[in-house]
Amino acid sequence: MTTWLGLDAGHDDPATADATAVSLYESLLFHAHVVCVHVVEDHHALSFRLTDLPSENTVSTLIERGYGVAVHNGSLQRLAGPEPLARGALRAALAHRDRREGRALRFPGQRTLRGRYGVSDILAFSAIEEVLPHGIKSVDARGDLQPTFVNGRLVLELG
């Protein structure tokens, strides 16, 4: 069962949001399949695609750290934390679920993308579904590719 976890701490700076998302992925949410950062109103929120519901302990830890938290797995399971941040967390979780928008910092196949790869290999061996502009034959992938969700697809836009 897929679950989307939205978190909002009101990050103004995208670099801080990125660092926070990666830090949470490397510690508390290491089982996430996809990690995204979203623009929510005038700040940045985070979302994580999980294979199951986060533990009560994990959710409590996030609330204690001041996050607005939204847990969604087809229906809203939980909304917690400061009300405006909880709303932002829900917006991030739903944008990720619907693949409407969000910049992916971690995604399946990303770790193998180091060096120069043909676009066909990137499409075959990672979660990236499209590379723009069309016609590019290869990509210098240093492991820091950050595709975005656009119209239901994970798209890598270059230059």
**92-138: per-residue pLDDT in tens?**
999 999 999 999 999 999 988 888 899 999 999 999 999 999 999 99
pTM of the model: 0.94
Pairwise CA distance, residues 21 & 15, whole Å = 10
Q: Are residues 35 and 62 in the same domain?
A: yes
Q: Are residues 130 and 74 in the same domain?
A: no
Residues in the chain, total: 159
Q: Are residues 79 and 10 in the same domain?
A: yes
pLDDT at 111: 85
pLDDT at 143: 59
Instruction: Tell me the pLDDT tens digit for each residue of 134-151.
Output: 999 999 887 578 999 999
pLDDT at 141: 81
Pairwise CA distance, residues 127 & 91, whole Å = 22
Q: Are residues 41 and 102 in the same domain?
A: yes
The proportion of the chain whose per-residue pLDDT surpasses 70, expressed as a percent, equals: 99
Q: Are residues 18 and 43 in the same domain?
A: yes
Q: Which domain holds residue 10?
A: 3-106
pLDDT at 144: 79
Q: Are residues 99 and 118 in the same domain?
A: no
Q: Are residues 100 and 147 in the same domain?
A: no
Q: Are residues 50 and 98 in the same domain?
A: yes
Residues 6+ positions from 33 with CB-CB distance below 8 Å: 49, 50, 51, 107, 108
Average pLDDT over residues 70-95: 95
Number of domains in the chain: 2
| Mean pLDDT computed over every residue of the chain | 94
Q: Is the pLDDT of residue 157 over 80?
A: yes
Average pLDDT over residues 1-21: 96
Alpha carbons within 13 A on the beta-carbon side of 129? 10
